[in-house]
Each structure stands twice: as C-alpha cells, then as structure tokens.
Chain A
Amino acid sequence: MRRDGPQSHAEHARALSARVADSGDTDRALRLAVFERAARGAAVPEPYDQLVEQIARDSARVTDAQIAAVLGATGSERSAFEVILTAAIGTGLHRWDAAAAVIEEALDAPA
C-alpha cells in the first residue's frame, strides 16, 4: 500500500485550506466564517450568507442579485471572487474530510 508522502492528497487539501485562511484582500475572520458556513457551520452576516448557502447547496441557482450584493458589500471584484472561491473550497474540502475520514475508518476496522 502506497503511504501518504509529499504531494499526497491530504497534504494538498491542507495546503488549500491554509491558503484560503492566510491570503486574500478580505477580512480573514470573514473568510474563515464563510469557509465554515460552506461546510455547514454557523450563519454569516448578509449579504454573504445567502450567497454562501446558495453556492454550497445549489450553485446552479446562484443569481446575479446575490453576486451583486456581495460585490457591493466587499467593494471589489477581487474580494467578491475570494468569497465565491472560499465558499466553493469550503464545500469541497468538507467532502474531502468526510471521505478521507471514512476511508481511514474502513482501514482501521478489524477484518
């Protein structure tokens, strides 16, 4: 069995999470809250919550108005982009964490 080593998926996932936390123009606390909300954490202030929930639960139904509201609140396209990506990444990494955990659990279970 190949062991996790440099460039493993787990390491990539951790690097992605760290990059979201530690880079960007937006307020770090907002990014972390958006990230957690996307992974089914506590609600964040509007207009962010509506967009984050829409991205996480049914991204095909995101509306122009939801994007415009966050663009208005952040004041720049770079910041709005960060909110969108953070929500998407939080949702994806929630899935990675869940999958990785059950894989490890399956490996640890007695045969």
Chain B
Amino acid sequence: MRLPEVERGDTLRHRALIAMISRLTGIRLPDAARVAFYHQDFAGPVLGAWTQRAMRGESGWSVYERELMAAAVASWNSCPFCVGAHGAIAVRGIDRALVDAVLNDYRTAPVSDRLKAALTFIEKVTRRPDELTAADARAALDAGLSVDDLRDAAAVASIFNVIVRYANALAFQIPSSDEFDKAAGMLLKRGYS
C-alpha cells in the first residue's frame, strides 16, 4: 500500500488486531479492512455506517444483487480489488456464470429487466453523472423499480465510486482467489461497520 502506516495500523491496538485477525483467518487482512481501522477520527466510520445501510440494510435488492452492483461499479472504475472482493460475495448467491456475464456486459447478460434497468442507471451515475436526467430515473421506475429500489441502487453506486477511488489511489494489494473467497465469508458475517 502507498501509505505504510495505513497498512500496518496507526495504534498498538490496531496493529495487534490486524495481526490477530490475519492469524485467526489464515489470510493477510485485506487492505480495505486496514483502511477501516485507520484514522477513525476522520470520515471512515461514517462512510462505513452508510455502506452497512446500503449493502446490508432493508432493501428490495438481495445482498448478492447489491454486491454485484458494487462489483459492476468497480469494473467501470478499473478497480481489480473491488471487482474481486465483491464478485466473490456475489457468487455466493448468484450463479458465477451470470456474475461473469454481468461484469462482462450487463446489457447482454440474462438478468431480469429490473436489475438491468438498475445497472443502466448506475452506469450513468458512475460514468456520466453530469448527464443524468429525470428521464433516466423515469426509465428505471418504468422498468419496475420502486423509488426505494432506485435510491438503494444509487447509494450503492455512489458509495463504491468512493471506495474504488481510494482503493486504487492507495494501491491495495490484490488477494488470491482463495483469499477473496475467505474474505467474502468474513464480510458476509461481519458487514461493513
């Protein structure tokens, strides 16, 4: 990671926790978790609380659909860490071939019209936010999304447009497939905050 202090921990307690979790899980604690431990006086915990709400709170989307949305946002932002991390969770609830098809090109993937409409909206949120119009929102609502579904998808997209940027900027170390899989289990169990 580009900031060594973030990687190793900023307090004795955090360094000990990072070491202990790594030992107990048998994998190097992923950099995303190290960021969550670091400089907690700043914005991390507040971002974590929103991430927990968006990814694990009450929603018309399943946890796995939201993780797939996060992976899609990561792919549009060229963040291999987040594609790997959230793809590894998505495949625990969605067929791997379908996850791969969505990440390759959601437009041709055999997903519901509702999910496709959400992905269409959040792709524009990600790539061309200044070109968004009410017609984009209306198209998603007309495809069967409730207002809350659309807000939930927009929240996932916005949050992961934050996370992928600091993941890339800090040059997160990319875990192996096995490590991503183990970390996916931990994230499903513990959540984001």
Contacts and interface: CB of A to CB of B under 8 A. Distances in A.
Interface of A: 1-2, 7, 9, 12-13, 15-16, 19-20, 23-24, 40, 51, 54-56, 58-60, 62, 64, 67, 71, 77-78, 80-82, 84-89, 91-96, 98-103, 105-107, 109
A106 B50 contact: no
B6 A81 contact: yes
B165 interface: yes
B42 A24 contact: yes
Interface in B1-46: 2-6, 10, 38-39, 41-44, 46
A60 B77 contact: yes
Nearest to A67: B2
Interface string B124-164: 01100110111111100100001110111011011111111
B169 interface: yes
Given A9-B152, A102-B133, A106-B137, A95 B158 contact: yes
Contacts of B53: 7, 9, 12
A78 B135 CA distance: 42
Interface residues of B, number: 58
Interface of B: 2-6, 10, 38-39, 41-44, 46-47, 49-50, 53-54, 57, 77-79, 121, 125-126, 129-130, 132-138, 141, 146-148, 150-152, 154-155, 157-171
A26 to B, nearest CB: 9
Contacts of B166: 55, 59, 84-85, 88
A95 B132 CA distance: 10
Given A77-B3, A95-B126, A95-B158, A89 B47 contact: yes
Max chain B CB contacts within 10 Å: which of A67, A78, A95? A95
A88 B155 CA distance: 15
B103 to A, nearest CB: 16
A91 B154 contact: no
Contact of A59 (B41, B79, B126, B133): B79
Given A19-B43, A85-B166, A88-B162, A98 B3 contact: no
Contacts of A101: 132
Nearest to B3: A77
The 9 closest A-B CB pairs, nearest first, are: A92-B162, A96-B158, A88-B165, A12-B50, A106-B137, A99-B154, A59-B168, A105-B134, A60-B78
Contact of B38 (A81, A98, A106): A81
Contact of A40 (B47, B54, B130, B151): B130
A17 to B, nearest CB: 9
Contacts of B136: 102
B2 A64 contact: yes
Contacts of B121: 99
